[in-house]
C-alpha cells in the first residue's frame, strides 16, 4: 500500500488530501474545521480527517507532498533581489515566513506522537502542483494545462502539456507580473479589502460598462507572446515587507495598489462603506474585461502553439467563472475541465497526484475526480443523537422533528415545501471539496420567485444585493435553459440563460441574463438529482436555487453547525439525512 498525503500549508485555504494506491480517498479545507474563512496555517484538522477517512495513522504515511518549494525559481529570485536592492527588513521578513513553511516536518512528527514518523517529505513547485491538480484528475487523456493566480514560488502563471502519465511545465510568468495581483489590487481599490473578495467585483461587473478598459490597458500590457506585464507604478506588492499574513489563522493581504497614480488614472479610491456609484460599477466591469482580454490572449497564443482542443485550468484565477464560461467562445478550445477546488486548496491534491505519477507512471491517472464529495459525512444515528441532545432547545424554538425513512416520500415532501416558497437547509452525505456548495451542504429555494433573493438576504445571508444566486439544473435539461450545453458539475462556469427562459427563473438570473450553473446527474448525487427532478415534475422548472449552507462563516461541515445555523436564522426547514426539522406555525 502506498499512502501519499498532500498538504497546502501556511497559505490561505490551507488543506489536505490523501491518495492510497493512487485513489483519492478524502480531501478537505482546514477552514471547515476551524470555522474561520480561508483559514491559513498548518492544516492539522484536515490532515486528521484525511487519515481517519483512510483508516491509518500518521506513522503509516509513505510520502507527504507539499505544494510549495522554496528552492523553485531560485535563480530568478536571486537576480530580482540583486537588481532591486530590497531593504534588509524586507529580506528578513521573507525569511521569517519561509521558516514557518520549513517547520512542517516537525509538526507532522508531533502528529505521529510516539510512533516514528518515517514519511518522505517532497516539495512540489506551487504552479506544478496546480497543473497536476487540473490535469491528473481530469477525464482528458491529453490536454493543455494552465495555472493562473496571484503568485506562488515566484511565479504567477504557468503552462504545460499533459499527455497520459506525462505532465510538462513549459513556461511561466514570473513575479511581480500577475493577473491575480491585478484583480486583487483593483478589488481593494473598489473598497473590498478582505482576502478572497474578488468574487464581489465579478458579481458587480455586469451592472456596469467597460468604460475604463483603455485605462486598464495601461495597467496590464499584453505582450506579443501572449503573456502580460504590469505597469509597476500602480502597484506596491513588489516593495511590501509582507504581502500576506495569517495571524490566528485569519488571512489578510496588505494594500497592493499605489494610490496616487491609480487615483490619477481612475479617480478616488472607494471607501469600504461608501455607496456604490455607477462609476464604481463601470470600474468593476472594466477590471473583468481587462482580465478576460489578457486571459484569452494567453489561451489563444497557447492554442496556436500546442494545437489541442482540450484545456484544464487551475489557480485562484480559475475561480473566475465568468471568464471560464466564455473560453469555448473566445478561444478555439472545445473542452474545458476545472476541478472543484481549483484555488490553492487544490494544490494538496495536485502535489499528491504529482508524486504518485512519478512513483507509478503506468497508473498516473488513477486519482480521478468525478464528483466533489470528498469531505466528512455523518450517519443518521449521529444526527438523531444531536437532535435528541438539543430536544429542549428545539421545543423552545417551537420546532418539530420528524424521521422520514422513505427516500421518495422525503424528496416529495421537501420539493413541495420549496415550491411553496420555503428556504430549505439541505445537509446530506459527504461535504464538498472546494468553495462551492454542490448539493450536500446547500440552502435550496424556488428559482421562480422574483423576491427570493430578498427573502434569502433577509432570513439568512445578509449579503450585498448585487451578488447573484446560482441555478442547479439537471444535466439533461441544460440545452433547454442555457445558450451553451456543457457539463458543469462544480459550478465553475457562467452561461447565458436563454432569453425566453429568464423570466421563469428570476431568482437565479443575473442582471446580464446569465447564471453560474451547476449541472447535476444521478451518478454524481442521487438525492440531490431526485429532488431537482421532483421539483421539475411539480413546476415544469428542473432547476433549484442553490447557495452555500452558512451565515457569514465557512460552509457548515458537521450536523451541529447546520442545526446552529438553522436555529439562529429564519430558515424554514432543515433536512439532515433522513431527519427533517420544521418550524410550527
pLDDT of residue 95: 46
d(CA 254, CA 257): 9
Range 53-64 average pLDDT? 97
- The conformation of residue 150, written as its DSSP 8-state character, comes to E
The partner residues of 133 in beta bridges, in order of sequence, read none
CATH of domain 137-333: 3.30.420.40
Range 479-484 average pLDDT? 99
pLDDT at 558 exceeding the cut of 50: yes
pLDDT at 85 exceeding the cut of 80: no
Whether 219 contacts 182, CB under 8 Å: yes
Whether 469 contacts 310, CB under 8 Å: no
pLDDT tens-digit readout, 179-188: 999 999 999 9
d(CA 514, CA 506): 10
pLDDT tens-digit readout, 229-285: 999 999 999 998 788 888 899 999 999 999 999 999 999 999 999 999 999 999 999
Share of the chain above pLDDT 90, in %: 89
pLDDT at 450 exceeding the cut of 90: yes
CATH of domain 3-133+347-363: 3.30.420.40
What's the fold here for domain 380-583? DHBP synthase (3.90.870)
pLDDT tens-digit readout, 24-42: 999 999 999 999 999 999 9
Range 67-73 average pLDDT? 81
> What is this structure's pTM?
0.95
Q: Which three three-digit cell numbers place residue 248?
A: 490566528
Range 132-143 average pLDDT? 98
Please tell me the number of Cα atoms within 13 Å of 516 on its side-chain side: 21
Cα distances from 556 to residues 49, 59, 77, 188, 451, in angstroms, run 15, 30, 40, 28, 25
pLDDT at 516 exceeding the cut of 80: yes
Short-list 134, 161, 164, 137, CA closest to 149: 134
Q: Which three three-digit cell numbers place residue 134?
A: 487540473
Rounded to 5°, angle at Cα 367 from 362 and 373: 165
pLDDT of residue 74: 60
pLDDT tens-digit readout, 367-423: 999 999 999 999 999 999 999 999 999 999 999 999 999 999 999 999 999 999 999
d(CA 364, CA 346): 17
Question: Average per-residue pLDDT in the chain?
Answer: 95
pLDDT tens-digit readout, 186-232: 999 999 999 999 999 999 999 999 999 999 999 999 999 999 999 99
For the chain, what are the domain ranges? 3-133+347-363, 137-333, 380-583
Instruction: Please report where in the chains the cell 456596469 appears, as a residue.
Output: 208
pLDDT at 61 exceeding the cut of 60: yes
Which DSSP string do the residues of 27-88 spell out, in sequence order? EEETHHHHTSTT--S--HHHHHHHHHHHT--GGG-SEEEES--TTTTHHHHHHHHHHH---H
Which DSSP string do the residues of 427-489 spell out, in sequence order? E-SSPPSSSS--SSEEEEE-TT-TTHHHHHIIIII---TTS--EEEEEGGGHHHHBSS----T
Domain pair 3-133+347-363 / 380-583, same fold = no
Amino acid at each position: 500500500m502506498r499512502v501519499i498525503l498532500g498538504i497546502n500549508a501556511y497559505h490561505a485555504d490551507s488543506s489536505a488530501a490523501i491518495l492510497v494506491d493512487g485513489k483519492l480517498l478524502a480531501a478537505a479545507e482546514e477552514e471547515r474545521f476551524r470555522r474561520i474563512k480561508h483559514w491559513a496555517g498548518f492544516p492539522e484538522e484536515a490532515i486528521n480527517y484525511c487519515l481517519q477517512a483512510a483508516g491509518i495513522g500518521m506513522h503509516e504515511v509513505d510520502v507527504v507532498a507539499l505544494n510549495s518549494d522554496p528552492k523553485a525559481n531560485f535563480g530568478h529570485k536571486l537576480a530580482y533581489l540583486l537588481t532591486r536592492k530590497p531593504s534588509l527588513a524586507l529580506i528578513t521578513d521573507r525569511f521569517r515566513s519561509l521558516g514557518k513553511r520549513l517547520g512542517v516536518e516537525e509538526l507532522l512528527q508531533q502528529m505521529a506522537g510516539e510512533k516514528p514518523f518515517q514519511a518522505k517529505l517532497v516539495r512540489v513547485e506551487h504552479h506544478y502542483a496546480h497543473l497536476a491538480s487540473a490535469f491528473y484528475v481530469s477525464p482528458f487523456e491529453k490536454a493543455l494545462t494552465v495555472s493562473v493566480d496571484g503568485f506562488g514560488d515566484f511565479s504567477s502563471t504557468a503552462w504545460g502539456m499533459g499527455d497520459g502519465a506525462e505532465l510538462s511545465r513549459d513556461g511561466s510568468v514570473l513575479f511581480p507580473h500577475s493577473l491575480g495581483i491585478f484583480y486583487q489590487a483593483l478589488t481593494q481599490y473598489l473598497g473590498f479589502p478582505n482576502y478572497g473578495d474578488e468574487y464581489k467585483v465579478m458579481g458587480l461587473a455586469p451592472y456596469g460598462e467597460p468604460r475604463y478598459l483603455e485605462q486598464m490597458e495601461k495597467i496590464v500590457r499584453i505582450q506579443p507572446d501572449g503573456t502580460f506585464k504590469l505597469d509597476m507604478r500602480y502597484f506596491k506588492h513588489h516593495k511590501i515587507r509582507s504581502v500576506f499574513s495569517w495571524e490566528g489563522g485569519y488571512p489578510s493581504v496588505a494594500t497592493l495598489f499605489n494610490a496616487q497614480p491609480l487615483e490619477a488614472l481612475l479617480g478616488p479610491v472607494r471607501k469600504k462603506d461608501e455607496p456604490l456609484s455607477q462609476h464604481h460599477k463601470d470600474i468593476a466591469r472594466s477590471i473583468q474585461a481587462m482580465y478576460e482580454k489578457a486571459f484569452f490572449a494567453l489561451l489563444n497564443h497557447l492554442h496556436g502553439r500546442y494545437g489541442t482542443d482540450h484545456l484544464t485550468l487551475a489557480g485562484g484565477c480559475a475561480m473566475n467563472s465568468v471568464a471560464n464560461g466564455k473560453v469555448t467562445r473566445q478561444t478555439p478550445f472545445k473542452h474545458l475541465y476545472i476541478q472543484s477546488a481549483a484555488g490553492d486548496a487544490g494544490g494538496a491534491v495536485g502535489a499528491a497526484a504529482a508524486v504518485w505519477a512519478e512513483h507509478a507512471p503506468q497508473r498516473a491517472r488513477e486519482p480521478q475526480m468525478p464528483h466533489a464529495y470528498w469531505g466528512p459525512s455523518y450517519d443518521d444515528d449521529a444526527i438523531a443523537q444531536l437532535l435528541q441532545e438539543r430536544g429542549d432547545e428545539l421545543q423552545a424554538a417551537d420546532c418539530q422533528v420528524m424521521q422520514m425513512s422513505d427516500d421518495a416520500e422525503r424528496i416529495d415532501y421537501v420539493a413541495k415545501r420549496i415550491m411553496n416558497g420555503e428556504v430549505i437547509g439541505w445537509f446530506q452525505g459527504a461535504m464538498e471539496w472546494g468553495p462551492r456548495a454542490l448539493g450536500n451542504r446547500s440552502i435550496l429555494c424556488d428559482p421562480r420567485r422574483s423576491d427570493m433573493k430578498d427573502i434569502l438576504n433577509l432570513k439568512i445571508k445578509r449579503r450585498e444585493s448585487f451578488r447573484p444566486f446560482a441555478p442547479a439544473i439537471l444535466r439533461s435539461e441544460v440545452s433547454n435553459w442555457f445558450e451553451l450545453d456543457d457539463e458543469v458539475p462544480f459550478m465553475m462556469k457562467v452561461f447565458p440563460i436563454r432569453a425566453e427562459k429568464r423570466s421563469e427563473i428570476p431568482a437565479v438570473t443575473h442582471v446580464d441574463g446569465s447564471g453560474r450553473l451547476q449541472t447535476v446527474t444521478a451518478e454524481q448525487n442521487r438525492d440531490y438529482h431526485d429532488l431537482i427532478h421532483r421539483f421539475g415534475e411539480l413546476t415544469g422548472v428542473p432547476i433549484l436555487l442553490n447557495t452555500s449552507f452558512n451565515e457569514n462563516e465557512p460552509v457548515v461541515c458537521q450536523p451541529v453547525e447546520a442545526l446552529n445555523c438553522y436555529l439562529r436564522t429564519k430558515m424554514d426547514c432543515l433536512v439532515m439525512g433522513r431527519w427533517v426539522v420544521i418550524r410550527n406555525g
